[in-house]
Amino acid sequence: MNNTFGTLFCITTFGESHGNALGVVIDGLPAGLEIDEAFIQSEMDRRRPGQSRVTTARKESDTIEILSGVFEGKSTGTPLAIMLRNTNQRSGDYNNLADVFRPGHADYTFQQKYGIRDYRGGGRSSGRETAARVAAGAVAKLLLKHFGISVRACTEQIGSIRAEKIDWSQIEQNPVRCGDPSAADAMACLIRTQAQKGDSIGGIIRGEILGVPPGLGEPVFDKFDALLAHAMLSIGGVKGFEIGSGFSAAESAGSQNNDPMTASGFLTNHAGGVLGGISSGNVVQFRIAVKPTSSISVLQRTLDRNGNEVEIRVGGRHDPCLVPRIVPVVEAMAALVTADLLLRARSSKL
């Protein structure tokens, strides 16, 4: 089940960058949930390309069509399938890439794995694949909302520019989705500078899940944080994940890192809201590292299909920084993990 994620709230995605359509089948959504189609579309719009100067120039309407699973505005318990058509393919841009492996991309590894690859726009390995995740994540968010749970994410760092604070009301007010307006300006500037050089830049995203009741997560392999790590690293370009104090825990003593419990709750949150893999009721907090976009027009050394050394500049329409557009994908994946564990927790007790 290579393209399926989740156990009870279970999604299966399909689609390539330049094929007929992308989509997702959501299986396991409980019956009776109001499906706010406008909300799902608004989430798609957040991920959609072509929105600002810091993202790719490819324009896709990303209009969703719900194919099944909804009746009179409510989920029916049957699979909810969502499709979105590709409309703005310019596959011609990629013809010259049929025979060469772009550095940092999955071209070489797909060829090795399958012996065949849809090279147009990266095919299945394109970031466009995440559109289906965002659609599914929007449905997961609707389910979570019903139970008082919400998910949010923001850009915390681009290159070496860090947000000094997070004002969550600012996230959608700037193109980099940063909660610190002045850092946001500097980040946008850095991204444009890199773009002008034909280069790219990485960054860090922070995610939070609020309102999680204690008891979600399975104690051994499917720990809440383990599933989050799985979910986040499954997003193309993500290179690291940490929960709570994360890598800084390595330098801590137990007396600093343990979170004291009091009658009014945990005094700190070094654990990131998860103890022994199970949610504690504290906010679930995590961070992920995003690499710089691999598609750059700077000259690079690589191989062609025959093993000859060649040099290339990668053309096409690309984001000089993936971070802002990955923010809604991070939210979607976090929502999917949480929704799944919420349903799984229903069978933990008699």
Burial of 54 (0-12, 13-18, 19+ CB in 10 A): buried
Q: Which of 250, 233, 222 is nearest to 341 (CA)?
A: 222
Q: Sign of the CA dihedral 182, 188, 193, 194?
A: positive
Q: Which stretch binds its own copies (CB under 8 A): 39-47, 50-58, 61-69, 180-188?
A: 61-69
* Min CB(192)–its own copies separation in Å: 14
Decide whether 113 or 165 has the Cβ nearer to its own copies. Answer: 113
229-255 in b/e form (b: 16+ CB < 10 A) is bebbeebbbbeebbbbbeeebeeeeee
What does the per-residue mask of binding to its own copies show for 239-278, with x meaning CB under 8 A? xxxxxxxxxxxxxxxxxxxxxxxxx---x--xxx-xxxxx
Regarding 30 and contact with its own copies (CB under 8 A), the answer is yes
- 312 sits near its own copies (criterion: CB under 8 A): no
- Angstrom distance (rounded) from CA 56 to CA 122: 15
User: What is the C-alpha separation between 327 and 185, in angstroms, rounded?
Assistant: 17
Q: Which two tokens stand for residue 61?
A: 């309407």
| 94 touches its own copies by CB under 8 A | no
How many residues bind its own copies (CB under 8 A)? The answer is 152
Given candidates 32, 148, 181, 315, which one binds its own copies under the rule CB under 8 A?
32
Rg (CA), the chain: 21
x/- letters, 35..54, toward its own copies (CB under 8 A): --------------------
Query: What is the smallest separation between the CB atom of 217 and its own copies, expressed in angstroms?
Result: 8
Piece of the chain touching its own copies by CB under 8 A; list 36-44, 47-55, 101-109, 180-188? 101-109
Q: Provide the minimum distance between the beta carbon of 58 and its own copies in the complex, in angstroms, as a whole number.
A: 18
Is 316 a binding residue for its own copies by CB under 8 A? The answer is: no
Among 295, 326, 330, 334, binds its own copies (CB under 8 A): 295
How many CA atoms does the CB half-sphere of 92 hold within 13 Å?
Answer: 2
